[in-house]
Amino acid sequence: MFLRDLQYFCAAARVENIARAAESLGASQPTVSKAISRLERQLGVRLFERLARGVRLSPAGTAFLRYANGANNLLRDAAAEMREFRQNQAGVIRIGVGVGITETLLEDAIERASNKHPSLRFEIRGGMADTLLDSLDAALIDLVITGVAAQPRSGLRWKTLYTDRQVFAAPREHSLVRARTVSIAQLASSRLILPAPGTVTRAWADALFIAEGIQPPLPFIESHASAREIPLAVRFGCVVLLPESVFQTSAFGPKLSRLNVPDHWDMARPISVVTRATRFTNHMETILEALTESTTR
């Protein structure tokens, strides 16, 4: 059984089309077809059902895919680690940080990890959760810190660090700060700073308005970076939706007040660290321990 055959099989299973799988891997369609036929002969089962416009995994193929993905992940991780040795980067930890993650979490974790291993170096990449998880899956980064709930992705391991609630806040002189309970209509008529479309928290905020029969308003500012939202809210007198951890740790936090909102507006995100199940070096263990310690201090 050849590892290349497994790669062709996984690609065909992912896109459900032999030609597109071949194109994605820079191979010819006959090469991929022969590889899949070779696997089927070796295993003695049909891995795919052939359809008019593609292929679909058979029950046996679905079962085999779990093992094939595991083998591919191991191979990618081995290649990534050897590349690091070639580039003299064996002590580099590459971290992806999702939207709405407080900066102090990463700062504390890096400080703890580097105190234990002063030779460690770090690369930080920000972005949307799906993009970061794809990079993790492709072995381009080593771990992701995200507020997205665990997804059924093969080969990834999720660990919840803490739960982070979302809060509405405004500058202390804002009229809504004095409101006994802020209504959705009052919120809709305010100048708002909201997370960018496509984020979990933006979908939740839009759903609040829709549930009350109100078209979600266009915010004054849409933001991918929670750390910048508080000074912008202070400067422009906006109501801002942000994670409680960011509200509590920002240097601008004292200039804002949390709004009194209805209890049913409550929304909490699990903040998790995601790693590949097949890649767990001593340096990875160090940063994971540091992240855990930073959230339990």
pLDDT in tens, 216-250: 999 999 987 666 888 899 999 999 998 898 888 87
Burial class of residue 12 in the structure, from the number of CB atoms within 10 Å of its CB (0-12 exposed, 13-18 middle, 19+ buried): buried
For the ranges 72-81, 130-139, 185-194, the lowest mean pLDDT is seen at: 72-81
**273 or 81, higher pLDDT:** 273
Residue 245: closest CA among 168, 164, 171, 169: 164
Q: How many CB atoms lie within 10 A of CB 196?
A: 15
**161 or 76, higher pLDDT:** 161
172 contacts 233 by C-beta, under 8 angstroms: no
Q: What's the CATH number for 86-162+270-296?
A: 3.40.190.10
d(CA 275, CA 238): 37
What is the CA 149 to chain-centroid distance, rounded? 9
**Residue type for 100, please?**
G
Structural class in CATH, domain 3-75: mainly alpha
pLDDT at 226: 63
* pTM metric for this prediction: 0.68
96 contacts 273 by C-beta, under 8 angstroms: no
pLDDT at 297: 55
Q: What percent of the chain has pLDDT over 90?
A: 51
**207 or 200, higher pLDDT:** 207
pLDDT at 145: 95
Tell me the torsion sign for CA atoms 2, 279, 78, 10.
Answer: positive
**30 or 69, higher pLDDT:** 30
User: What is the location of CATH 1.10.10.10 in the chain?
Assistant: 3-75
**Residue type for 156, please?**
L
pLDDT at 190: 96
User: What is the location of CATH 3.40.190.10 in the chain?
Assistant: 86-162+270-296, 165-268
Structural class in CATH, domain 165-268: alpha beta
| 3-class secondary structure, 68 | helix
Adjacent-strand bridge partners of 159: 273
Mean pLDDT of 168-192: 95
